[in-house]
């Protein structure tokens, strides 16, 4: 989502020069994984996270984990995502739920996630509530439900992915939501709300949020997941401000 003014393989160097230490690639399925890995390695960046499954992003489904009857499709696509994550040395795999609703969808979701956790005990899997305005019909639109799912599965390799943009859209109070779910959070993403642009363009207090991450010793990554208002590097004042005001 960032540095899209550049060809994909040139974005790693641009990100490193801008001060980033890692890179998310939401859907790294159109370029050979070894090419992506070499480009990241040359720039000195770790590849942090990818999404599963590989989608048809131009209007296709956003996952199948909660869709009854598509268990085989879920497993097949998860296996491909797992191979790509291993080739990229990616730390996290975000497992997308897809469009579904109702009790059968919940049980399908839990069964599929439990299978994935058992299939890949070495991997760190995440789930993320998404707001219905951006993702109509998406099964996981509630943080309480995400907490229930993680606790029911109860494996150490499944955690919560917390996106400040979606949290604000879903709850109206991103900071309160964070304080409620923080113990289960494995990975953090930031973006301004409304608009999903730079964090300093929205209504949330990201500086306070970053300070709280430091105060609790959050050990994970913080990823910039937003659509820049202009060329990416010109909109990174929020990052420079955070680096100047926080202890590290």
What phi, psi does 65 have (nearest 5°)?
-60, -30
Confidence of residue 33 (pLDDT cuts 50, 70, 90): very high
Which neighbouring-strand residues pair with 163?
189
Residues catalogued as catalytic: 128, 225
Chain centroid, CA 217 distance in Å: 20
User: How many helices and strands in the chain, by DSSP H and E?
Assistant: 9, 7
| Residue pLDDT, tens place only, 132-184 | 999 999 999 999 999 999 999 999 999 999 999 999 999 999 999 999 999 99
State yes or no: pLDDT of 248 exceeds 50: no
Q: What is the pTM of this model?
A: 0.95
pLDDT per residue over 66-113, tens digit each? 999 999 999 999 999 999 999 999 999 999 999 999 999 999 999 999
**Cβ–Cβ under 8 Å, residues 221 and 185:** no
Place of tokens 């300070």: 211
Average pLDDT score over the chain: 94
Buried/exposed code over 172-185 (b: 16+ C-beta within 10 A; e: otherwise): eebbebbeebeebb
């Amino acid at each position: 989502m960032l540095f899209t003014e550049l060809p994909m393989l040139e974005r790693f160097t641009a990100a490193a020069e801008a001060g980033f230490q890692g890179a998310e690639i939401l859907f790294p399925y159109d370029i050979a994984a070894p090419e992506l890995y070499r480009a990241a390695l040359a720039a000195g960046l770790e590849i942090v996270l990818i999404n599963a499954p590989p989608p048809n992003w131009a209007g296709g489904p956003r996952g199948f984990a909660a869709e009854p009857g598509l268990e085989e499709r879920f497993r097949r696509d998860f296996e491909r995502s797992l191979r790509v994550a291993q080739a990229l040395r990616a730390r996290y795999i975000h497992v997308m739920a897809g469009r579904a609703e109702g009790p059968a969808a919940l049980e399908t979701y839990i069964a599929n996630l439990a299978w994935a956790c058992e299939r890949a005990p070495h991997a760190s899997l995440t789930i993320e509530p998404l707001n219905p305005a951006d993702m109509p019909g998406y099964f996981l639109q509630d943080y309480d439900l995400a907490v229930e799912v993680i606790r029911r599965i109860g494996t150490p390799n499944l955690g919560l992915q917390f996106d400040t943009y979606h949290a604000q859209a879903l709850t109206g109070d991103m900071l309160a939501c964070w304080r409620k779910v923080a113990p289960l959070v494995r990975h953090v993403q930031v973006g301004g709300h409304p608009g999903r642009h730079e964090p300093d363009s929205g209504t949330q207090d990201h500086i306070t949020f970053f300070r709280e991450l430091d105060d609790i010793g959050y050990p994970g990554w913080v990823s910039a997941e937003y659509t820049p208002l202009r060329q990416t590097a010109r909109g990174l004042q929020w990052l420079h401000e955070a680096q100047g005001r926080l202890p590290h």
